[in-house]
Structure 1
Amino acid sequence: MSHGKQFTLYSSVPAPNGWKVAFVLEELNLTYETVFLDLRGKEHLKPEHVALNPNGRIPTLVDHHNGDFTIWESDAIMYYLVDKYDKEHKLTPTTENDKYTYLQWLFFQSSGQGPYFGQATWFMNFHSEQLPSAIERYQDETIRIFGVLESVLSKQEWLAGNKCTAADLSFVPWTNIGVDIILPKREDFNFERDYPAVFAWHNKVKGRKSVSKLLALRAELLKK
């Protein structure tokens, strides 16, 4: 593979986590090539990818300008990118306490939103049998996560540092799944009515040039 671009990003078209990383790469104007792996075909478990990522999941990032340094886990990758390449603090706060708050939200996204939304999607669409109790549990957790975000974003515009950071970006793909796939049929859920601050924040982040560009690309690739 040619390494004319600085990064190689191993991702997947339908899966959310690779797109979080791509948002940051675009925001920082870093050059990268995306290799989309077919998860149904288990390309992520092939030896050449597992040699880079022993967890055998996506995303995986290789930094060719840093001795082919390889890092996996989406929010760890995002942290690496902004810590090493965002010297102007485009996507990170500048004060010490805000930096810790920013990290808090990155951890919350990866430990709270991602797993709960992922389990909801699994039990609703991919599990071998329908388990209503499991579906209800993870739908309820999805709603709870929106409540946590609403409690904060109803008082401030962004999660940390009074500006859009990588933490804000990290929520976008999974929030889309929550709204479009997990909760549409729940009578007790109306995104704009029940979570107006999260609704406004989410649409504001989606409207950023980098995010809207990549979400449009994802939509086109899903049609193929």
Structure 2
Amino acid sequence: MSHGKHFTLFTASIWPNGWKVIFVLRELGLDFEPIYLDLMKNEQKSPEHVTHNPNGRIPTLIDHKNDDFVVWESCAIMTYLVEKYDTSHTISVSDAGEKILQLQWLFFQASGQGPYFGQAGWFSMFHPEKLPSAIERYQKETLRVFGVLEGVLSQQAWLVGGKCTIADFAFIPWNIYALENYISHYNGFDFARDFPAVHRQASSDMVA
């Protein structure tokens, strides 16, 4: 593995969790070498990767300028990056209370949006047999999560701190991925009409 860059990032080209980290690295101007794993070939389970990430999932980050410190789980990686490298709080918050709110949203993304959206995508696109009850359950959950975000973002531009932070970066790639791949096929769904504030967030220049 080359150590010419500040970081090595094990990721995958189309999956949202890796893009969450890439957004942060780019916004902070941190150089990194991406290693794209083919998840359909189970390359994330390879010995080289599992050595760094025992869970065998992406993304995994190695910080070569911090004694090859390894972090996995996308929200943990984003938190690490801003705690160590966003000293001016460009995409993070500094107030103690707001830091808890930022963490709150990261927990909700990791425990709510990610699993529900992931299962919605799996049962809609990849499961070998169609299970209408599973498809319906996870479609409803994706819309529920959109509703949670809409309720907040209709009152304020960003989730915390009055600016785009890692809390927003955590949600946006999953919103875009779901919209481009399966949510647009939901009966009667119109993202811009039904969830205008979430649509605005996902269309922000910050993530273009």
- TM-score normalised per structure 2: 0.97
1:33 Cα deviation (Å)? 0.3
- Cα offsets for 1:83-104 (capped at 9, x unmatched): 1111100111122211111111
* 1:1-224 correspondence to structure 2 within 5 Å: 1-204=1-204, 207-208=205-206, 211-212=207-208
Percent of aligned pairs sharing the same letter: 57
Query: Residue 148 of structure 2 aligns to a residue in which SS?
Result: helix
Q: Which runs of 5+ in 2 are unaligned?
A: none
Which stretch of structure 1 is more off in the superposition, 171-180 or 155-164?
171-180
- Cα offsets for 1:62-90 (capped at 9, x unmatched): 00011101110000000000011111001
- Cα offsets for 1:131-188 (capped at 9, x unmatched): 0110010010000000000100111111000011011111121001222223212224
Contact 2:172 2:201 in 1 (8 A): no
C-alpha distance in structure 2 between counterparts of 1:106 and 1:144, whole Å:
17
Query: Residue 9 of structure 1 aligns to a residue in which SS?
Result: strand
Q: Which amino acid aligns with 2:12?
A: S
C-alpha distance in structure 2 between counterparts of 1:78 and 1:186, whole Å:
31
Number of equivalenced pairs: 208
Q: What is the root-mean-square deviation in Å for CA atoms of aligned residues?
A: 1.0
C-alpha distance in structure 2 between counterparts of 1:2 and 1:177, whole Å:
30
- TM-score normalised per structure 1: 0.90
Query: Residue 61 of structure 2 aligns to a residue in which SS?
Result: strand
Q: Which amino acid aligns with 1:189?
A: F
Query: Residue 66 of structure 1 aligns to a residue in which SS?
Result: coil
Contact 1:124 1:135 in 2 (8 A): yes
Contact 1:117 1:177 in 2 (8 A): no
- Cα offsets for 1:89-127 (capped at 9, x unmatched): 011112221111111111111111110000001111111
